[in-house]
Amino acid sequence: MEASVNLGKIRGIPIGLHYSWFIVFGLLTYFLSMPGGFLQEFFPGWETTTYWIVAATASLLLFTSVLLHELGHAFTAQHKGIPVKSITLFIFGGVASIAEDSETARDEFAIAIMGPVVSVAIAAFSFVMWMLVSPFQEQLQAIFLYLTIVNTVLVIFNMIPGFPLDGGRVFRALLWGWTGSVEKATRWASMTGVMIGYAFIILGIFMVFVVLFTGIWLILIGWFLQNAADQAYKQMQVRRTFEGIRVRQLMEPNPVTISAYASIEELVDRYMLGRNLRGLPVVDEGILAGIITLNDIKGTPREQWSQYRVLDRMTPRESLITADPDTDLDTVLHMMSERDFHQIPVLESGAVVGLLTRGQIIRFLQLRQSLPDYTPTVQRMEQDTPPGGSGGSVEQQRAQSD
């Protein structure tokens, strides 16, 4: 999930706000301060401005609590040697984007449980502060009472044993340790998450007729849970499918390239129209210089095509991602998804020896899924695959920066 607003970094982890955060922040502040809301129900008699200030402060501190919760996951992952890409706060709370899966059930348990542990600590701290300030400061009393309640609720909700909630991840870790199979554990935990999501949706439908906002919120949470649980299991299946597969086994060997000094006119007439290519690697004395695509030349008037070289319009190498033939396919797929690239050049000593496209990966995945009972042997595939990859026409693939 991409952040709309970047807040900086903590221990090298980018912290950001998704646009949906602003929506829920405004709604939460309003419902806390409105007549009949939490603050006016338990702390009557304040001025309207005071209600709004306290409500906004409480909302900000709630999301601070969520951030600390996610940092609990993130710092534990870093301690286990697992990189953390980012933390993003959004409409349903927050999410720590951890780059890799845990290698053991013990590590998975430690990472999953640390978020709720942090929330329990925040709830306990807020409760103590509420007791201390209650005799003399009503506004602080209201804030700490709210933080005590909401963090307690967050712990209870997060520990529901449905993937991908923290409780579901703890459940998966326990199943993993018991069965010895992360795939089986993920499948069971995901199925539980889907069922819990549908239960929230059904409950929300009934609640709509009692408390409209609560019902809608439960439906949204249920939809998010069942969808996230289903997608988490599918993503795990994809990663397992690509485990042990190398780039050289799927790449297009010896792809069509063009000189950096060729004209745009030659690029279009000879390659894009002549060979039905949307884009291709650009080389300079046999070394990759960049990639040129249809999108790169759309802004150049037709009458100027003969005046510009490919070098003038290409995406330079430093803006690309590349791989070598022995790179793990799952690593490359992650980079392609993160940058939304459709193909990447495969290099040896700077020279283009292949091209790996998203289309080739999808075809392999479809073939693998059509043989559910077959586990590919990497050694057999490497023996049966000709040097350079699987063949196929690069002309049928989309270019990297389309």
- Residue boundaries of the structural domains of the chain: 5-242, 247-396
Tell me which of 338 and 128 has the higher pLDDT. 128
CB 97 within 8 A of CB 1: yes
The alpha carbon of 261 is separated from its chain's Cα centroid by a whole number of angstroms, namely 39
Name the one residue in this structure whose structure tokens are 């075809």: 363
Report pLDDT for 30: 92
Three-state DSSP state, 341: coil
Report pLDDT for 218: 82
Q: According to DSSP H, which parts of 180-292 are helical?
A: 182-208, 212-242, 264-266
Label the pairing between strands 258-259 and 279-284: parallel
- pLDDT category at 377 given cuts 50, 70, 90 is very low
Report pLDDT for 3: 56
pLDDT score of 115 more than 90 = yes
Q: How far apart are CA 217 and CA 208, in angstroms?
A: 9
Half-sphere CA count of 202, side-chain side, radius 13 A:
6
pLDDT score of 64 more than 90 = yes
> What per-residue string of b and e applies to 14-47 under the rule 16 or more CB within 10 Å gives b?
bbbbbeebeebbeebbeebbeeeebbbeebeebe
Q: Which helix (H) or strand (E) holds 24?
A: helix 19-33
> What per-residue string of b and e applies to 340-349 under the rule 16 or more CB within 10 Å gives b?
ebbbbbbbee
What phi-psi label fits residue 384: left (phi over 0), alpha (psi between -120 and 50 degrees) or beta?
alpha
Long-range contacts of 230-239 (CB under 8 A, 24+ apart): 230/190, 230/194, 232/163, 232/164, 232/186, 232/190, 232/193, 233/163, 233/186, 233/187, 233/190, 236/101, 236/182, 236/183, 236/186, 237/183, 238/333, 238/365, 239/101, 239/330
Report pLDDT for 381: 43
Report pLDDT for 378: 42
Report pLDDT for 276: 81
Q: How far apart are CA 151 and CA 295, in angstroms?
A: 49
Statement: the pTM of the whole predicted model exceeds 0.85: no
Dihedral angle sign, alpha carbons of residues 190, 177, 331, 382: negative
Catalytic residue among 2, 47, 70, 138: 70
Phi, psi angle pair for 177, to nearest 5°: -65, -35
CB 38 within 8 A of CB 143: no
Nearest to 296 by CA among 390, 402, 156, 168: 402
Average pLDDT, the chain: 83
Highest CATH level, class, for 247-396 = alpha beta
pLDDT score of 397 more than 50 = no
Is 395 catalytic? The answer is no
Report pLDDT for 298: 84
Tell me which of 394 and 255 has the higher pLDDT. 255
- pLDDT category at 372 given cuts 50, 70, 90 is low
Name the one residue in this structure whose structure tokens are 């960049």: 290
Report the range of poorest mean pLDDT among 21-35, 43-57, 96-110, 361-375: 361-375
- pLDDT category at 390 given cuts 50, 70, 90 is very low
